[in-house]
Amino acid sequence: MAFTLPNIYHNRNLKIFVAIPVVMMIIGLYLSRGITLDSTLSGGQSITLQTNTTLSASQIASGITQTTHVLNPSVTVSSGQVSITLAANKTLSDAESYLIAADQYEANYTSALVNTTNYQLILKSDPANQTAQTLLAQSMAVGNSSAAATARYSGLVMSSLAPFGIPASLNASSPTAMVASAQSAYSNASSSYKQMIISGISKVVPFSSYSYQDITVLQSTFFLHELETIIIAAFILISIVVFVIFRSVVPSFAVVFGAANDMVVALGAMALFGIPLGVASIGGLLMLLGYSIDTDVLTAVRILKRREGTAEERAYGSMKTGLTMTATAIVSFAVLFAVSLIAYVPTYYEISGVVLFGLIGDLFTTWLGNASLILLYVKRKESGR
């Protein structure tokens, strides 16, 4: 006897259905606080080796951890090439942040010094110029505070690099000299760290050549900012398009809520299962966003635009079709997720994990939340309230 899916919308309390994805969103938001960033968004090192090694990605990763003491390296093995991504070294990251601050304050000092000189020249020809006197005092104050801040942050660079054997001495003859000393110390420490990493890797994987790239804190911050901008822009554009389609707040809100909830659920699952947030997982989130909008819009169109049967029957028909599509996608990404775990392919692991957990959340969001919201809207509209 064939199993027939019951119509869950017939004579049900739809408000209870809506509450389920809302609770899921709250849980997802709570869990997402523990999400980690991968090296593309937190900084680190990217190394590519040309090699004929027969070692697996997991064997290489384990060996690198043993020889370099860098935890959880990301390794991808392809024909004749091994790609390795390491998390940022905290000591170097801290030193880089201090160096950026020192450089900014040194630039403020230089600008204040130029202004001070200009105001002094003005007062030399016009000693009674009150405006120039006030501006001179202000620029001198800025120069003094900037010089002090430059010295403080340059000193922090030197002290933070002590684990690399960098002397704490600082050329304090001028703010410019301080920053130059700090930059030289940071460069030497970075070079020392690079040699240690390459030496450690060579003990695990013999290679004929390699490329080494630092992903700095400044670069990773830029990447993160750009990705945030892309996601925000995507939601704004989607909201506009959806509102143009339905010309009503409730259906438009239901569609956008569904997409947002799927992403929040995916982020919560990422934190729970240790899937890092990076360029690859951001790509997965954007894929999930497109899939969610597709199912939510089609469901809303079928319920609102078509006229055959009742609204509950149209929602039920849409659910049967949608569940088949989503189940197929879940199976596909579950297979990819399993393969990426076995073969140790971090990029596929991040993408498939994000989409897989997001699609599971989409089952509840679309058919309990989105569809129920639209049905409540239809009932209220039909009752004239």
| pLDDT tops 90 at residue 216 | no
Q: What is the pTM of this model?
A: 0.67
Residue 155 in tokens = 């000193």
- Render pLDDT for 94-152 as a digit per residue (tens, 0 to 9): 898 899 999 999 999 999 999 999 999 999 888 888 998 999 999 999 999 999 999 99
Pick from 8, 30, 38: nearest CA to 346? 38
56 against 279, higher pLDDT? 56
Task: Round to whole Å and give the CA distance between 313 and 309.
Answer: 6
| pLDDT tops 70 at residue 189 | yes
Write the CA distances from 279 to 67, 94, 137, 344, 380, integer angstroms: 27, 23, 48, 18, 43
- Burial zone of 232 (CB within 10 Å; 0-12 exposed, 13-18 middle, 19+ buried): exposed
Distance, first Cα to last Cα, the chain: 44
pLDDT of the residue at 264: 92
- Render pLDDT for 310-359 as a digit per residue (tens, 0 to 9): 888 888 888 888 888 889 999 999 999 888 877 767 778 888 999 999 99
pLDDT of the residue at 1: 43
pLDDT of the residue at 384: 58
% of the chain surpassing 90 pLDDT: 36
pLDDT of the residue at 29: 92
Encoded amino acid at 257, one letter? F
Instruction: Tell me the average pLDDT across 52-70.
Output: 89
1 against 219, higher pLDDT? 219
- Render pLDDT for 83-96 as a digit per residue (tens, 0 to 9): 888 888 889 988 98
Q: How many CA atoms lie within 13 A of 67 on its CB side?
A: 19
What is the pLDDT confidence band of residue 38, given thresholds at 50, 70 and 90?
confident
Sheet of 81-87, strands arranged across: 74-78, 81-87, 44-50, 209-215
Q: What domains, with CATH codes, occur in the chain? A: 14-39+217-383 (1.20.1640.10), 45-215 (no CATH)
Let me know: does 5 contact 320? Beta carbons within 8 Å. Answer: yes
pLDDT of the residue at 4: 67
Task: Round to whole Å and give the CA distance between 118 and 150.
Answer: 23
Let me know: does 154 contact 105? Beta carbons within 8 Å. Answer: no
Coil/strand/helix, residue 344: coil
What is the DSSP secondary-structure string of 150-218? HHHHHHHHHHHTGGGT-------SSHHHHHHHHHHHHHHHHHHHHHHHHHHHHTTS--SEEEEEEE-HH
- Render pLDDT for 220-232 as a digit per residue (tens, 0 to 9): 777 777 778 888 8
Backbone angles phi, psi at 165, to 5 degrees: 75, 20
pLDDT of the residue at 2: 47
What is the pLDDT confidence band of residue 3, given thresholds at 50, 70 and 90?
low
Pick from 378, 385, 361: nearest CA to 23? 361
pLDDT of the residue at 356: 93
Let me know: does 82 contact 198? Beta carbons within 8 Å. Answer: no
Residue 216 in tokens = 């700095």
